[in-house]
Amino acid sequence: MTRLLHPRYWGYHLVVVVALLAAGLLGLWQYQGWQERRTAEARDLTQVAPIPLADAIGPDDPFPGEYVGQPVEVLGTWVPGSTVYVSGREHEGREGYWVVDAVGVGSSLVPVVRGWSPSPGGVPEPAGDASLVGWLQPSEAAAATDQDPTDDVVPQMRVADLAQRFDEDLYGAFVVASEPGDGLVAADLQQLPEAGRFTAIRNLLYAVEWWFFGAFALFVWWRWARETVELEAVDTR
């Protein structure tokens, strides 16, 4: 082992130490980048300043995942006779209904959850111009079948189901109004963003690659040190 401590080998040891530090720090940097990007995707937008609806989604656009919960400004006209009640919505431990009306924005319609009600029916319909701020939400997945498509009660807030009730096209999203309509309780926001499984996966793979490089450098040094020690043992015989 004394041969490994000879000054002429110090340069080899220094190269290995530098390589291990560089690989470890670069891997940590990429790992932190992976975590930060996942956190950024899953950020809570509900308290940020509202933006115009058109800045988040267009009439024919798929839902933009980065805008889940984004406050948006909706300007248009309330559609008469468009009220729908979404069942199975809880508020403070009570089961009730979301009250949904359509707002005409250009040639398309945006479903708006105006608030929560303990029962369907008897809620005044809005009329005239619509000007509101609410949280942008993606269409819910199909979880139940509408047993009676002829009534005004639906089992989930699914845009595809609502589209069958109108001749106009619907946006691929809905809005939960931040201020409830007359006689209603503010609806609870139910969907917040989650980071996708493959978000920033490249950063994570780069981190693993750098750490693998460090482990390989350590392995090479260990092999070299072992051969050097064995050579020293042969020379001393």
* Mean pLDDT (10-residue bins), the chain, 237 residues: 64 79 84 65 69 95 87 96 92 90 96 94 91 92 74 89 90 93 82 51 77 83 76 61
pLDDT at 13: 73
228 exposure class (CB count in 10 Å sphere: 0-12, 13-18, 19+): middle
213 exposure class (CB count in 10 Å sphere: 0-12, 13-18, 19+): middle
84 near 100, Cβ under 8 Å?
Answer: yes
- Residue 54: other Cβ atoms inside 10 A: 14
CB neighbour burial string for 148-164, b if at least 16 within 10 angstroms, e if fewer: eeeeeebbbbbbebbbe
pLDDT at 195: 46
pLDDT at 190: 64
133 exposure class (CB count in 10 Å sphere: 0-12, 13-18, 19+): middle
pLDDT at 18: 84
- Both tokens of 90, joined, read 């809880």
176 near 137, Cβ under 8 Å?
Answer: yes
* Of the candidates 133, 217, 128, 227, the residue with the CA atom closest to the CA atom of residue 175: 133
